[in-house]
Chain A
């Protein structure tokens, strides 16, 4: 047995990173729990339980250990799934994630993000869950009450792009705040911030995600280059080309794209996953940029309304190439 040479270490350990990430997920689960209650609880238990049991069995057979990482991954994956996902699909996703972690994760140095691979398996196997998104029960009831008070027929919900709540919110902000600086906020942000959108457990977590991102970056839990460059990659082309459908350049609605869908959550929790992100800091700049650009193309040219998961999976394909490229520069 050789003598240990290193005695003092950095404050961050794998266990601490996992615990901090769990802390970050608590407020997101609180909001998602408000919206989806038991549905969320069942899916979280099946995804995380399936992943944890599988990983524990693999750890026992391979004599390895990890620090709650599978639990964190299970909880992240749950939030990324649509609320209509059946429990057995969640269970399958959890198991698949843990198996893929062993096959392609960690020091194997390969590119596949196990969370997103499991998400893709689930999406391909149970497409119905993605095709009929529903408003959360809590917000549905709130909506009914608002519409009842306004005298509008509840059936109008399905025909409206933006809800009356959003209109009221946007008008108030424009009249009382933005008019001072001659800016007019387009409709949509009220729904976005309140979670008054259907289709995702992440609805309504925008503001919390911004707060969580500060914590993640300050505590060095994620590399800042990836989310920063992803934001640039999406924001810049959106601003330049996003308004072309209405006939004008440089008028795209950047904030709605950044805060819409699961983009923020994806670039903070999925794209930064250490198993599949680039190894070198310099590669991460390009990786982040590609994610942003892919999301832009998928949203504006493709059939996707979100595209975050697909974009991160696609960007993962070029990770080995990016690392090879920058290793050559380092070796000079």
Chain B
């Protein structure tokens, strides 16, 4: 029996059969790229170019702490405007109109002998080329580490990018692991996988230094604390541990071995309403409309999600761009989303049954409604991992996840969460 976290959760369909092993298609270049100053939640960059400037492919156009943002296409800066991302974040966006010469794409590159470089130089280059290290986007990580964890657990149904990279790009991610091992000198390296059918475990031949752990396919296994619990690493302090996903490994490989800035990325298009599901290689900044149209378009009544069915954000405006943090576009039929109006709570207990951290969501919600701060604290708002299972399972469709997310945002570290 594969290991998993201790309680709650949901055994879910993975829908891996929708995106079987196949060559990744390259999406045609966008005629306009929309580059958001915020590519990851909570991270932003400052523009280094202005309207009317001519820019080159892979030119550094914005700088943040410590990540840079590069232009995916050559062209002219047409505008810098405010952009509201699907999750409601307001940021600035720069529009580049395609034009000029490609000086990188189509030209041969030679691999770098990175083994001769110092760990610090490698780390600096990663950040300069715009590669974020997952939960350490701000770069706040120092060697040596106790553990490096490669989180290839499928985060949600349909979100199969990690598995596709692990299976299809074994050479690339294996080398990326060696690069990270050199930079961060972990005492141990773990590869966490999951599979819904025991006989379908990926055929891997990883480096002997990697401990492979196959876990049960149980949502929300990919969540940081639950993953560490399933691996038995929960006692390692946060600053002695680095968790990266396969997508990041691919970006590390491209940056360090081929000296390539993070300007394109693989995105999975899947879902029960996807016409041509698969993995597509897309330039950062490509409007989602281009991606959706290329993969077969949208039927009437399709729900477009950036992310998975549990935690994904609905995209109502398809002019939104692909971000560095976009790993999946899930197209769901609204009929199969089972959206109904909110009803009164029937005290069924399903929310508590599935909660992976042992919260009583119903009572937490009641405490929030009553603005009972002591009750909120006692019911464990700070333990909520925002997996969305309570809202998903609630037959009365009470938006528990929304209430908790909003409340977590409201309570400052000096308040409920930090006490």
Contact = CB atoms under 8 A, between A and B. Distances in A.
Given A279-B362, A281-B353, A331-B358, A5 B343 contact: no
A6 B388 contact: yes
Select the residue from A4, A107, A275 with max chain B CB neighbours within 10 A.
Answer: A107
Interface in A131-145: none
Given A5-B388, A5-B402, A67-B343, A10 B393 contact: yes
B303 A7 contact: yes
A8 B349 contact: no
Interface string B373-417: 000000010000000100111111101011001100000000000
B344 interface: yes
A329 to B, nearest CB: 9
B203 interface: no
Interface in A1-57: 2-17
Contacts of B399: 4-6
Most A CB atoms within 10 A — which of B332, B337, B349, B362? B349
B16 interface: no
A330 B358 contact: yes
Counting chain A CB atoms within 10 Å of each CB, which of B7, B88, B314, B332 scores highest?
A: B314
Contacts of A276: 347
Given A4-B399, A107-B366, A9 B405 contact: no
Interface residues of B, number: 45
A10 B363 CA distance: 21
Interface string A58-82: 0000001111010000000000000
Nearest to A284: B349
A8 B312 CA distance: 9
Given A17-B395, A279-B362, A327-B360, A7 B347 contact: no
B110 interface: no
B227 to A, nearest CB: 21
Contact of B392 (A6, A17, A66, A109): A6
B341 A274 contact: no
B224 to A, nearest CB: 19
Nearest to B357: A330
A13 B399 CA distance: 13
A2 B404 CA distance: 13
B21 interface: no
A327 B364 CA distance: 13
B338 A274 contact: no
Given A7-B314, A8-B310, A281-B353, A275 B392 contact: no
A36 B406 CA distance: 56
A279 B311 CA distance: 25
B375 to A, nearest CB: 13
**Counting chain A CB atoms within 10 Å of each CB, which of B338, B343, B347, B362 scores highest?**
B347
Contacts of B140: none
Given A10-B392, A279-B349, 18 more contacts: A2-B402, A3-B87, A6-B388, A6-B401, A6-B402, A8-B332, A8-B337, A9-B339, A9-B394, A13-B340, A14-B346, A69-B346, A107-B344, A107-B362, A109-B363, A274-B347, A280-B349, A330-B7
Interface of B: 7, 87-88, 303, 305, 309-314, 332, 337-341, 343-349, 352-353, 358, 360, 362-363, 366, 380, 388, 391-397, 399, 401-402, 405-406
Interface of A: 2-17, 64-67, 69, 105-107, 109, 274-281, 327, 330-331
* 9 cross-chain pairs, A with B, having the tightest CB-CB distances, nearest first: A8-B309, A107-B345, A6-B391, A274-B348, A279-B349, A9-B338, A330-B358, A274-B346, A8-B337
24 contacts: A3-B88, A4-B399, A5-B391, A5-B402, A6-B402, A7-B337, A7-B339, A8-B332, A9-B337, A9-B339, A9-B340, A10-B392, A10-B393, A13-B395, A14-B343, A14-B395, A15-B343, A64-B344, A67-B343, A279-B360, A281-B353, A330-B352, A330-B360, A331-B380
